[in-house]
């Protein structure tokens, strides 16, 4: 099957399904045309997925299609942006139609869930890779950036951490589990992340100052907020939300996966103490999503040890400062 026949059969299928008033022109011309409201900024994010680097050889085509778009939608959520459209550049080793059909099903299942249309892209022959660029709308002056954490902010995460990284360890054979259910849940957390678009209206309602998605590990990703904002942080480990698939492991291993593991795609964010308290009050009434406070933003001068200053992070347990053997690091592509 030729390139254009493949595109027409498998990928030209969801623009007409959604209300796409912001899409002036989608698939079928040299460029897509987007209409952006005068009071909005255009949020753009791109990620490339490579076999053997970002997904295991043998991963189902459905999961590859799903996750490749999910991780980009997660970036929009972290910026407080609403999805507008996306492009797809797909490199295939051959014209395996069964792979393409299953990949497209996964891709469009999550695209339809978040009502984000495919508006263009490219297909070519070569080693398997997927590159997606997403576009979103955010009101001018309301984009949530990494560099805006403030002293006194509460540091929160949107969900339990470490389960996806445990799934990676299981697939590499670095861990084993006697529980089939725990294995399957870990693999599901790894292959099917849940972009937290549900948090976007609450981010704006409760004046979230800074945010990013946890893709490369909580410690490393939080470090980006601290570095960009010029602040430090105190983390309370006894409150740290650990995935239930880790409960059979030692406490040190649980914390290592939750603090340093990647692929969670939950959101890490900071907001003023009063706004945090209002969010918690609303969540207790079922009026806002559950969030987990893990620490507080401090000035850099509050770090007492040279090691803490280098990391920008102080650890505590039940209020007492400790020095765990858990260093700040994150996944790096190079």
Q: With a cut of 70, say whether residue 268 has pLDDT above it.
A: yes
**Dmax of the chain from CA atoms?**
65
Neighbouring CB atoms inside 10 A of 112's CB total 14
276: burial class by Cβ within 10 Å (0-12, 13-18, 19+)? Answer: buried
Span between the terminal Cα atoms of the chain, in Å: 36
Q: Kindly list the domain boundaries of the chain, sorted by start residue.
A: 3-139, 146-322
Kindly state the average pLDDT of the residues 6-24. 64
Q: What is the pLDDT of residues 205-248, one digit of tens each?
A: 999 999 999 999 999 999 999 999 999 999 999 889 999 999 98
153: burial class by Cβ within 10 Å (0-12, 13-18, 19+)? Answer: buried
Q: What is the pLDDT of residues 310-325, one digit of tens each?
A: 458 888 887 778 775 5
Report the mean per-residue pLDDT for the chain: 87
CATH tag, 146-322:
3.90.650.10
pLDDT score for 31: 86
The helix (H) or strand (E) run that includes residue 189 is helix 180-191
Give the whole-angstrom CA distance, residue 259 versus residue 155.
14
Which pLDDT band, with edges at 50, 70 and 90, does 32 fall under? confident
pLDDT score for 136: 95
Which pLDDT band, with edges at 50, 70 and 90, does 304 fall under? low
Which pLDDT band, with edges at 50, 70 and 90, does 52 fall under? confident
Which pLDDT band, with edges at 50, 70 and 90, does 58 fall under? confident
Give the whole-angstrom CA distance, residue 236 versus residue 17.
46
Beta partners for residue 87, in sequence order: 120, 133
More confident residue, 26 or 286: 286
Q: With a cut of 80, say whether residue 185 has pLDDT above it.
A: yes
pLDDT score for 309: 46
Q: Cβ distance 69 to 133 under 8 Å?
A: no
pLDDT score for 308: 46
Which pLDDT band, with edges at 50, 70 and 90, does 21 fall under? confident
Q: What is the pLDDT of residues 113-141, one digit of tens each?
A: 999 999 998 888 998 999 999 999 999 99
Give the whole-angstrom CA distance, residue 112 versus residue 46.
19
Range scoring the smallest mean pLDDT among 17-21, 61-65, 170-174: 17-21
Side-chain half-sphere exposure of 24, counting CA atoms within 13 A: 7
* Range 3-139 has CATH code 3.20.20.150: no
Which pLDDT band, with edges at 50, 70 and 90, does 42 fall under? very high
Q: What is the pLDDT of residues 136-154, one digit of tens each?
A: 999 999 999 999 999 999 9
Q: With a cut of 70, say whether residue 34 has pLDDT above it.
A: yes
pLDDT score for 63: 95
pLDDT score for 334: 32
């Amino acid at each position: 099957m030729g390139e254009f026949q493949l595109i027409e059969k498998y990928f030209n299928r969801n623009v007409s399904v959604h209300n796409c008033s912001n899409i002036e022109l989608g698939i079928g011309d040299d460029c897509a045309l987007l209409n952006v409201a005068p009071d909005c900024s255009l949020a753009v994010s791109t990620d490339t997925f490579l076999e053997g680097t970002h997904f295991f050889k043998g991963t189902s085509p459905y999961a590859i299609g799903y996750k490749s778009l999910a991780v980009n939608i997660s970036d929009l959520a972290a910026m407080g942006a609403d999805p507008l459209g996306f492009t797809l550049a797909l490199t295939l080793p051959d014209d395996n139609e069964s792979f393409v059909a299953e990949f497209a099903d996964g891709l469009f299942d999550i695209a339809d869930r978040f009502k984000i249309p495919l508006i263009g892209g490219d297909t070519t022959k070569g080693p398997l890779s997927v590159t997606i660029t997403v576009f979103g709308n955010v009101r001018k002056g309301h984009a949530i950036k990494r560099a805006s954490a403030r002293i006194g902010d509460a540091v929160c995460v949107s969900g339990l951490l470490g389960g996806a990284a445990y799934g990676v360890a299981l697939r590499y054979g670095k861990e084993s589990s006697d529980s089939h259910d725990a294995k399957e849940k870990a693999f599901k957390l790894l292959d099917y992340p849940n972009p937290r678009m549900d948090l976007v209206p609450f981010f704006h309602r409760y004046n979230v100052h800074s945010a990013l998605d946890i893709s490369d590990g909580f410690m490393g990703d939080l470090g980006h907020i601290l570095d960009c904002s010029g602040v430090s942080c105190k983390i309370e480990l006894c409150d740290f939300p650990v995935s239930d698939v880790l409960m059979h492991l030692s406490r040190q291993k649980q914390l290592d996966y939750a603090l340093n593991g990647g692929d969670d795609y939950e959101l890490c964010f900071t907001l003023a103490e009063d706004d945090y308290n209002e969010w918690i009050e609303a969540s207790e009434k079922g009026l806002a999503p559950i969030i987990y406070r893990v620490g507080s933003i401090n000035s850099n001068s509050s770090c007492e040890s040279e090691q803490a200053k280098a990391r920008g992070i102080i650890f505590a347990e039940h209020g007492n400062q400790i020095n765990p053997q858990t260093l700040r690091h994150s996944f790096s592509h190079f």
